[in-house]
A = this chain, B = another copy of it.
Amino acid sequence: MGNFQARTDLALEARESISEAESELRGVRVEESYHKEEDVRVTKVMIDTRNAAKIMGKPMGIYVTMEAPALVEPDEDYHREISACLAGELKELLPESEGEQSILVVGLGNREVTADALGPRAVDNLQVTRHIVREYGAAAYNCEKMNQVSALEPGVMAKTGMETAEIVKGVVGETSPDVIIVIDALAARSTRRLNRTIQITNTGIQPGSGVGNHRNALTKESLGVPVVAIGIPTVVDAATIVCDALEKLLEGEEDLDVVKYMSRQQPGFPELYNMYMTGKDIDAVIKRISFTVSEGINMALGCSSL
């Protein structure tokens, strides 16, 4: 019913929102596992064909989703375990390498908007090593080998006047990293997944709805090196949540276009498309999960892990 395209950045939700018939399509493989001790459920969605990518509205590649209910709890020990989990999954998606690598970590988003500050805040706690390794070698860290980690907070277009992709592309061209890790706050379709789900994908970032080589994409195609993206949904699109509620309510009235209907009923409704919804304790949440993410990256890239 309806023709409203719910907005979600999660492959897991994209899969749930397509009909069962479609979900059995060739080209989408799903693997699930459960880490009992940490209470983390890991789902790996692999989109293998162009056709599958089109139906899912997501580019071909691997999407690992870690569902960790306790990510919202303030228990520090627990977060360390999730960081370790994240480090493990991240290393599987990073390109293999025997020696030292140069990795650029990019924290996307707007530091001044709490719910969008995940990327910049995660970058704050990163162990940045590139300048030290280049000056003094891995020995400075008492390691035989040490990755060269650099970090970038490109900011948002409203503040820089530049596309994020322009800034990243320029810095990549000048510093030639072997691989890029991008961190970003995501939008989920459901409040259930907010702040407790981590998605890791080797497809990079495709602003907007997905498939294709967009001008603003941060992908292997656009940047020339592999791009792994780590995202956590911290907001729900306001229009999405209202539409979801209404679709549930109107089930059966097949020919109703919810969006058009709402625009007639509520004059301000289209404004919802510039709004987002988030929790009232979002400051504490962002502080915690940004630390969990940066710790995970530090574990994955530190010298003990080479």
**Identical copies of this chain, number:** 4
The answer to the question of A266 belonging to the interface, with a C-beta cut-off of 8 Å to chain B, is yes
CA distance in complex: A277, B160 (Å): 26
**Shortest distance between the CB of A8 and any CB in chain B (Å):** 14
* Contact of B112 with A160 in the complex, beta carbons under 8 Å: no
The answer to the question of A161 belonging to the interface, with a C-beta cut-off of 8 Å to chain B, is yes
* Contact of B170 with A157 in the complex, beta carbons under 8 Å: no
On whether A276 and B266 interact (CB within 8 A), knowing A114-B112, A151-B159, A174-B170, the answer reads: no
* Contact of B160 with A128 in the complex, beta carbons under 8 Å: yes
* Contact of A278 with B279 in the complex, beta carbons under 8 Å: no
> Which residues of chain B are within 8 angstroms of A174 by Cβ–Cβ distance?
166-167, 169-170, 173
* Contact of A267 with B128 in the complex, beta carbons under 8 Å: no
**Shortest distance between the CB of A279 and any CB in chain B (Å):** 5
* Contact of A267 with B192 in the complex, beta carbons under 8 Å: yes
Taking residues whose C-beta sits less than 8 angstroms from the other chain, chain A's interface range is 35 or more
Interface 0/1 of A33-50, CB less than 8 Å to B: 000000000000000000
The answer to the question of A282 belonging to the interface, with a C-beta cut-off of 8 Å to chain B, is yes
> Which residues of chain B are within 8 angstroms of A128 by Cβ–Cβ distance?
158-161
Interface 0/1 of A117-158, CB less than 8 Å to B: 000000110001111100000000000000011111101011
A225-261, CB < 8 A from B: 236, 238, 241-242, 244-246, 248-249, 261
A157-210, CB < 8 A from B: 157-163, 166-167, 169-175, 190-192
* Contact of A265 with B248 in the complex, beta carbons under 8 Å: yes
- Nearest B residue to A262 by beta-carbon distance? B245
* Contact of B175 with A170 in the complex, beta carbons under 8 Å: yes
> Which residues of chain B are within 8 angstroms of A30 by Cβ–Cβ distance?
none
CA distance in complex: A242, B277 (Å): 12
* Contact of B162 with A166 in the complex, beta carbons under 8 Å: no
- A sample of 18 cross-chain residue pairs with beta-carbon separation below 8 angstroms, ordered by A number, consists of A113-B114, A128-B161, A131-B157, A148-B161, A158-B284, A166-B175, A170-B171, A173-B173, A191-B275, A192-B267, A245-B245, A248-B266, A249-B249, A272-B277, A274-B279, A274-B281, A275-B278, A275-B280
Question: Chain A interface (Cβ within 8 Å of chain B)?
Answer: 110, 112-114, 123-124, 128-132, 148-153, 155, 157-163, 166-167, 169-175, 190-192, 236, 238, 241-242, 244-246, 248-249, 261-262, 265-269, 271-272, 274-284
Which 4 A-B pairs give the minimum distances between C-beta atoms?
A130-B161, A170-B174, A170-B170, A150-B161
